[in-house]
Structure 1
Amino acid sequence: MAFELESNNFKIRLKEVRKTRKLTQQELAEKTGIPVTSIAHFESGSRKPSLENFYKLIVELNVSADYILGRSKKMSASGVDPIMNTLQKLPEVERRMIERFITSLESGHTKPEG
């Protein structure tokens, strides 16, 4: 069941944020697990997302719910994270390389047992 939202603001901002993050509808669908046809419907305003899908979208797009609903002019509560903003501007190949690097850093920082 879809929750109530102002679909005009939502559809405009969803597409705007997706493009700012340099994602295609297909890439966003793959990252969220939401069918690409549903994302197309959300952006056209012909369908509204379920609360679960809305949450997946704002988490993956790293955007505040208030912004995507048109209630705020700030993309996140504390403004856009400069690191995330820079990463989003990189080509997909470079973002994946950085993601692998971060993963390798995380695996190298295991806590000693004690």
Structure 2
Amino acid sequence: MFSTKLKELRSLKGITQEELANILGVRQQTIGKWESAITVPRLPMLQKIGAFFNVSVDYLLGRTEEPHTNVKVTPSTDLTPKEEREIEYDLEDMINSMASAAYESDNGEQEDIEALQATLRAAMIQAKRIAKKKYTPRKYRKD
């Protein structure tokens, strides 16, 4: 669903993948992967994309047909960029190991895959937070 929405919004705005990549601070190949449903960006990037196109993250992910909502999702500030990258790499590994055939399916199943990715990402972020809280010695905690 995200890939379709991104292509649609980019076309409506009349910009190329390269132009969007420059605006978002990513490579053109990254935009291509997003539009081909190979990968899905992390929440902070989804928020940046939503802000650029003036739509909600829920709309980008196909959770609502309304482009605008009053609900705002705030990015996680308690994970380091390295930890967020690790989650993304682990998530990508999980999805790829599930079955490469799933990526060759029709759009209906692709939406299911994107929903699964979003759910797994949220679970992995929560697990990382719990592990940090549980296993970080008190003298190094910031709370």
TM-fit CA distance, 1:52: 2.2
Contact kept, 8 Å, 1:62 with 1:76, in 2: the verdict is yes
* Match in the other structure for 2:44: 52
Give the number of aligned pairs. Answer: 70
Given the alignment, which residue of 21, 30, 39 partners 2:31? Answer: 39
Contact kept, 8 Å, 1:25 with 1:39, in 2: the verdict is yes
**After TM superposition, where is structure 1 displaced by more than 6 Å over at least 4 residues in a row?**
none
* Match in the other structure for 1:26: 18
Q: Given the two structures, how large is their TM-score scaled by the length of structure 1?
A: 0.56
* Match in the other structure for 1:16: 8
Q: Which runs of 5+ in 2 are unaligned?
A: 71-143
| Highest RCO, 1 vs 2 (Cα 8 Å, sep ≥ 6) | 1
Given the alignment, which residue of 53, 78, 85 partners 1:61? Answer: 53
**AA paired with 1:32?**
L
TM-fit CA distance, 1:65: 1.0
**SS of 1:29's equivalent?**
helix
Equivalents in 2 of 1:35, 1:54: separation in Å? 15
Percent of residue pairs bearing the same amino acid type: 36
Equivalents in 1 of 2:11, 2:68: separation in Å? 16
Equivalents in 2 of 1:24, 1:76: separation in Å? 24
The CA RMSD measured in Å over matched residues stands at 1.5
The C-alpha deviation readout for 1:64-113, integer Å capped at 9, x for no partner, is 111111111122238xxxxxxxxxxxxxxxxxxxxxxxxxxxxxxxxxxx
Question: Within the alignment, does 1:70 sit opposite 2:77 as a pair?
Answer: no
